[in-house]
A and B are shown apart, each in its own frame.
Chain A
Amino acid sequence: MPEVTPALKINGLTVAYDSIPVLWNVDLSINPGVMMGVVGPNGAGKSTLLKAVLGVVPTLAGRTEVLGKRFTKNRQQIGYVPQRTSVDWDFPTTVLDLVTMGTYGSLGWVWRPGAKQRKQAMAALERFELAEFAKRQIGELSGGQQQRAFLARALVQNAPIYFLDEPFAGVDATTEKAIVKLLQSLRDEGKTIVVVHHDLTTICDYFDEITLINKKIISTGPVSCAFTANLLEKTYGGPIKNCGIDCGFRDAPVELKGLPAESNDA
C-alpha cells in the first residue's frame, strides 16, 4: 500500500472535564478524500473529539497532525460547522454576513472583508442555493436553510478538511438528502469530511468510513468492516434489536428500525 499522508492523524488524544475522561487515548487516522461518520451514544465524546482537534476544548494529552503538520501551525486547514442550535439565530446579521465570517480566519486581526471576500461568500451561497436570501436576517431562514448557510460559511474557508457536528439534526428529510449530496460532491473534489452522526439507519448510504466511539475508539475503518452488530453492541453497551449486520451487510441491508439510537444500556 502506498504511503499517503493522512488528512488527519490523532495520537493518544485524551480529554477530561474535571478529571472525568470524556475521550480516552484516542488514536485515529483519516485518509484524504474520505467521508467519515463518527457514531456513538450520547455523551460518547463525538462532538468533543471534533472540538479537541480544533483546540476549542483543552486536551490532557495527545497530538494532532493535519496533513502532516501540527494543527496549531495549520489552522486554516479545517472548516468547522458547529451544531445549528449552538448559536442565537435572532442575532442581527444577514445571511451574506454570516457566510463571510468564514473568511475571517484567513483575514487576520483588524482587516475587514472586502469585495473579494464577499464574492467568495456569494459563490458559496449560490452553490447552496441560498443566493436569493443573501440580504435576509438569519432568523428568517428555515432550519434546513440555516444548516446550509452554516455549510456555506465553512465552504468559503476553502479548507481541505471539514468537520460537521450533527448537520442533520432538526432538518427535514429532503434537505438532509440535499446536504448529503453536497457533501459527497465535496468529497469527490478530494475534500476530507468528518461528520458526527446520530442516525444508524443511514450510515451505509452516506459514509465511506466510520468510527464507532464511546469515550474510546471501538472501531474505525470502511463501513463494511467497522460497522458490525458486534461492534455496535460494544459501542452502545447492550444488544441491539432487529439487527444482524456483519461485513456483508451491503448486499443484504438489514432492518434497523427498532434500533435505540440514543440508549446506551441494555
Chain B
Amino acid sequence: MDPLVFWTLMIAITTAVACALCGVYLVVNHESMVAEALSHAVLPGIIVAFVIFQDRSSPWLIISAGLSGLLMVWLVQTIRNTRLVDGDAALGIVFSALFSVGIIAASQNLNNTHFHAHCIIDGNLASAALQTVQLLGVEIPRSFLVMASVLVALLVFILFFYKEMKLAMFDAELSQSFGFRPALLHLGWLALVSITTVAAFETVGSILVVALMIAPPAAGFLLGSRLWKMLVISSLVGVFSSLVGFQAGYVLNISPTGPIATVAGLVFLVTVVFAPRQGVLAKARLRQRQRSDLFQQLLLARLKRDTPDAVGVRELSDSVTWTDQQFRRALTQCKNKGWVTEDGATVGLTEQGKQVADSPDETLAL
C-alpha cells in the first residue's frame, strides 16, 4: 500500500475512534448537540493562536482552541445558571457567537491563507499525511501523532474513571455523596472532548467531528446494552464509516469528509431499522406479538365478566369496542388455544379459558 494512503487511513481511523469514544458519553448524557456546539466554538481559539504564532502546526493552536471550547462550556453554564434563558437556547446563542467571532477574525487577518470556509468545514484529511515528522527513524505524519496521543489520553481517562463516569451519568447526586465530584469529572471530560474536537477539526473539519461524534455512538446506543459494549461498537462503526467513506471520496474525487459523514449517517439509519432488539422492525414484531396476547387476554376478561357461560358473538364484539378485524383475530386465536368455544352464534369460555382469565397477571405483568 502506498504509505500516503496508509497514513491517511490511519489518521481517519484514529480520529473515528477518538470521536466515537467522546460521543458515547455525550449521547448517553443527552448532550449530543454539545458536539455540534464545540465543533464551532473552537474556531476563534484556532484563529487567535494562528494570528499570534503564524504557524499552522504550532501546538498552541490546539491548546488555545481547547480553551475556547472550555470558554463556551463555561459561558453556557453561566447563562443557564441565571435561569433567565432556556438551556438549549443558551447553547445556540453562545456557539454561534463564538463561531462568528472566529469567522470575522479569519476574514480580517487571514485572507489568502489556509483558513478558508473550505478548511473549516471539510478539514484537509486528503493532505493531512503530507506533513511528517521523524520519529525513531520513521516518517510519521504529524496529524497522526496528534490524534494518536489524543486517543491514548481518552483511553486512559476512560479506563481510569470508568466506574466514576458511569455513576456520574446515572446518578450525579449519589456520585456526589460518594465524594466523586461529578461536576469536576464532567468538566474534565468536556475539556478532553474539547481537545479531541480541536485535534480532529484540523484534519477532518467541523462537519465530520459532529458526524463521527454523534452518528456511530447513536448506532452503538441501539446495538449495545452496556456502556463498554457501546464504546466498542461505536468505535467499530466509526472505523467502518471512515474506510467506506474514504473510498467513496476517492472514487468521486472529492474531499472524503462529506462521504464519511454520509456513510456514518447511513449506517445509523440502517441500525435504526434493523437493530436486533432496539430496531424499528424488531420492536414492531415484538409489539405485534404482545398486542395479540393482549387482545386475547382482554377477550377472555370480557367474556368472564359479562357472561359466565356463553354469549352471542354480536353482543361480545359490541362490548369490546375494537375493530371487527382485531376482534375476529383474537377470537380465532383463543379458539385455537382451546380457551373459547364458538357454537353457532354464541361464544363461551372453556374450563382452561376460565383458568387463564383468572390469572392474566403473569403474561401481562400486571
* A interface with B by C-beta (< 8 Å): 11-12, 14, 16, 18-21, 24-25, 27, 60-63, 215-216
Contact = CB atoms under 8 A, between A and B. Distances in A.
Contacts, number: 48
Contact of A12 (B294, B302, B366): B302
B319 A12 contact: yes
B302 A25 contact: yes
20 contacts: A11-B319, A12-B319, A14-B294, A14-B298, A16-B291, A18-B287, A19-B286, A19-B287, A20-B290, A20-B364, A20-B365, A24-B301, A24-B366, A60-B294, A60-B295, A60-B298, A61-B295, A61-B320, A63-B321, A215-B366
Q: Which of A18, A24, A60, A61 has the most chain B CB within a 10 Å cutoff?
A: A61
Name B's interface SS.
helix
CB-based closest 6 A-B pairs: A19-B290, A63-B321, A25-B301, A61-B322, A19-B287, A215-B366
Given A25-B301, A61-B298, A215-B366, A12 B321 contact: yes
A112 to B, nearest CB: 28
A7 B366 CA distance: 28
B321 A61 contact: yes
Interface in B324-366: 360, 364-366
A21 B287 contact: no
The A contact surface, by secondary structure, is: strand
A19 B286 CA distance: 9
Interface string B279-305: 000000011001100110010011001
Given A11-B321, A12-B319, A12-B320, A25 B298 contact: yes
Contacts of A12: 298, 302, 319-321
A14 B330 CA distance: 15
Contacts of B360: 24
Contact of B364 (A18, A21, A61, A63): A21
Nearest to B84: A90
Contact of A62 (B287, B321, B364, B366): B321
Nearest to A25: B301
A115 to B, nearest CB: 34
Nearest to A14: B298
Given A19-B290, A24-B301, A63-B321, 8 more contacts: A11-B321, A14-B298, A19-B286, A19-B287, A24-B360, A60-B294, A60-B322, A61-B320
Contacts of A63: 321
Contacts of A60: 291, 294-295, 298, 322
With most chain B CB atoms within 10 A of its CB, the pick from A16, A19, A21, A215 is A19
